[in-house]
């Protein structure tokens, strides 16, 4: 299905945010916003839900803590209990203080790396991936809204053009997608 995409460019984050707000109030669906830095407050306007990566980090951390506990219990208590200075490793609980540092470090390591990897995978930002920003200036000082006609069935292209004229913009670029 062919589709038409409108790239509406601004040179200020606040102007873009205000325009997006006005457009959304008129029932326009904004697909995406490209910006050189995070625009605070844009997410609820264009309907981007908050990320759940934080929950993932917690789960990865729990995994790390569990692995460290199981591992150290096996190495130091089950498999080869060492007797160091008359303080033998006969039970995990009695020796838990010595295991605190590594439990902590391993928890942090798993949480941080697990979250970082998930972040890159979910973003689909990996080495060698092609850039998808519509204009190279969006990583410099320009802010672009992407509006797709297919996602705005109730609004004709002309009506949309008129709305955009009303809210104002810097540049407008239209592209056909097949």
Residues near other proteins (CB under 8 A) are 11, 14, 32-40, 42-43, 46, 48, 50-51, 53-54, 57, 61, 71-72, 75-76, 79-80, 82, 84, 89, 95, 98-99, 101-102, 104-106, 108-109, 111-113, 115-116, 119-120, 122-133, 136-141
What is the biggest distance separating any 2 CA atoms in the chain, rounded to whole angstroms? 86
User: Taking CA 166 as the corner, what is the angle to CA 14 and CA 32, rounded to the nearest 5 degrees?
Assistant: 50
Helix axes 157-167, 13-25, angle to 10 degrees: 140
Which of 105/166 has CB closer to other proteins? 105
- Which phi and psi (to 5°) does residue 37 adopt? -150, 165
Q: How far is the CB of 43 from other proteins (least distance, A)?
A: 5
Phi-psi region of 5 (alpha: psi -120 to 50; beta: other; left: phi over 0): beta
And the tokens for 166?
């009303």
Of the candidates 146, 135, 144, the one whose C-alpha atom is nearest the C-alpha of residue 13 is: 144
Q: How far is CA 150 from the centre of its chain?
A: 25
Q: How far is the CB of 161 from other proteins (least distance, A)?
A: 23
Q: How far is the CB of 153 from other proteins (least distance, A)?
A: 22
Which of 101/178 has CB closer to other proteins? 101
For the chain, the residue count is: 178
Which of 97/154 has CB closer to other proteins? 97
Which of 4/118 has CB closer to other proteins? 118
Which of 54/156 has CB closer to other proteins? 54
Q: How far is the CB of 177 from other proteins (least distance, A)?
A: 16
Residue keyed to tokens 């972040």: 119
Q: How far is the CB of 109 from other proteins (least distance, A)?
A: 4
């Amino acid at each position: 299905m062919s589709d038409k995409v409108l790239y509406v460019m601004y040179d200020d984050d606040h102007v873009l945010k205000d325009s997006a707000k006005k457009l959304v109030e008129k029932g326009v669906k904004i697909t995406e916003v490209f910006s050189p830095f995070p625009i605070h407050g844009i997410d609820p306007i264009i309907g981007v839900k908050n990320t759940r990566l934080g929950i993932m980090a917690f789960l990865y951390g729990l995994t790390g803590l569990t692995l460290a506990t199981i591992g150290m219990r096996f190495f130091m208590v089950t498999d080869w209990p060492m007797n160091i200075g008359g303080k033998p490793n006969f039970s995990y609980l009695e020796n838990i203080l010595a295991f605190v540092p590594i439990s902590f470090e391993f928890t942090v390591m798993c949480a941080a790396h697990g979250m970082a990897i998930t972040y890159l995978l979910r973003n689909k930002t990996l080495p060698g991936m092609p850039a998808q920003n519509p204009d190279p200036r969006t990583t410099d000082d320009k802010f672009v809204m992407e509006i797709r006609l297919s996602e705005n069935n109730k609004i004709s292209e002309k009506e949309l053009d008129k709305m955009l004229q009303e809210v104002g913009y810097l540049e407008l670029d239209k592209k056909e997608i097949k």
